[in-house]
Chains A and B, each alone.
Chain A
Amino acid sequence: MSDAPLRDSAVQPSPTAPRVQSIDVVLRRLPWGRIGMPAVLVAMAVFFGTINPNFWSVTNLTNVSRQMSILALISIGQTFAILSAGIDLSVGSLLALVSVACAQGMLAFGLAGGIAIGVLAGCLAGLVNGVLIAKARIPAFIATLGMLVAARGLALTLSGGLPIAGLPHEFLFIGAGYLGPFPLPSVIAAVAFVIAYLLLSRTRFGRYVYAMGSNEEAAVLSGVNVVKYKILVYVVSGMFAGIAGVVLTSRVISGQPTLGEVQELYSIAAVVIGGGKITGGVGGIGRTLMGVLVLGMLSNGLNLIQVSSYVQNIVVGAIIIIAVYIDLARERRR
């Protein structure tokens, strides 16, 4: 009786931690789930900035944000697919298909027509993905793998394998223009993040995306029209690939059937580095943003401190695995 309550109260705050209060314990109690990624980003920024002060220059930051915008856009779409317990392997190839469609459309129907056709091409490919996955019940990995190969083939067929030049000069504005001090691609990506955030956190569609990803059978039995919302997921992913494809086409001011190779894999990496669960149901647009920032800052920073691009790939690969391992380790401890 006399020592039991004492012992209990000493152990209570953290039954697994050692009883001595130390910095170690304090550090461990911080809510790493919430502040972990921002902390890593700050650490990376400080590290790169210290070695090469140019990192902090306005020119560099502007450049990084513009470079990241394409990956950001397709990663937003990928977030929807992965959250719903699916995946979209086609987004990289869709960049090429959209680019070709956009350029040819622009030559035929003018600036606005080309942009619209580009985005629509993305949506349409997404619709095909969605119908194959939700209606024909083909696993998302297979359906979008097929689309990855086919969309590339279609882009090459439509373009004859050659770049499509002669696009109107005003089109440059999307990829190279500014809104105030901000590069337009970055503004487009930022707006896309906000819209995607609202979609996922404030709408029924978003809630159903999480529900399907967490437990599809339970979602069906809760009255969620899984077929409809799954199709919508891939249309959304295709739409963001469409927007990204148009921006990219403007940046290279031509339709290019070879754009976007392996970009789908980087978009998946961005989602999981941010802490999204590859099996669905866990993650979010904020986390994907973190993942995109880590990848973008890493490649820029490593360039600035003159690490060869070969070695950069090793680092990025390691980061993907480490990030997921840390997440798993944290979950196991709970």
Chain B
Amino acid sequence: MDCREFCEQHVAYVDDTLAGIELVRMQRHIAECESCAKHDAKIRRSLLLFRNLPLIEPSADFSQRLEARIRECQGEHLLANTQRNLRYGAVAATLASAVMLGYIGTTLYHRTDPPRDLIMAPVVATIPEPELAPITTSTPAIVASVSAGLSIWPAALFAEQAPVRFAHSKLQLTDYTR
């Protein structure tokens, strides 16, 4: 290794980022070259001085000032949001108005016929005749109505026109055959 190569690699050498073989070559060169050894010592000593400079601390009111600025920032953010919402609202309202006016304008422009009265078709009110389902089987209830002297057809009509709840209620059939 020559002095030029040593200087090129010196940053990595000081920072301990050299690979093993390179590191050994640098160490050998320092052992052999007095000038490079002096250079290395000079750099390391000066860096030590800089690294040992005392740290400065933030002033006592640093946090308070920052908090105040953050609050301002939040206020500005809220205001900006409100203004943006208002602006969006205004834009939306303007657009809606424009669309509505356009629609009205287009409708009026294309309307050539004179206005006419609305004529509806006549409606005839009729009462639909109830459909009577034929009785196909003779149930015990019908048999019972026959024996009591009631006519069959009024009884069947009565059962058909009964209220819904009555129709949905569970009917218990009586067995008279016993």
Note whether A and B form a binding pair.
no
Chain A interface (Cβ < 8 Å from any Cβ of B):
none
B contact set with A: CB distance below 8 Å: none
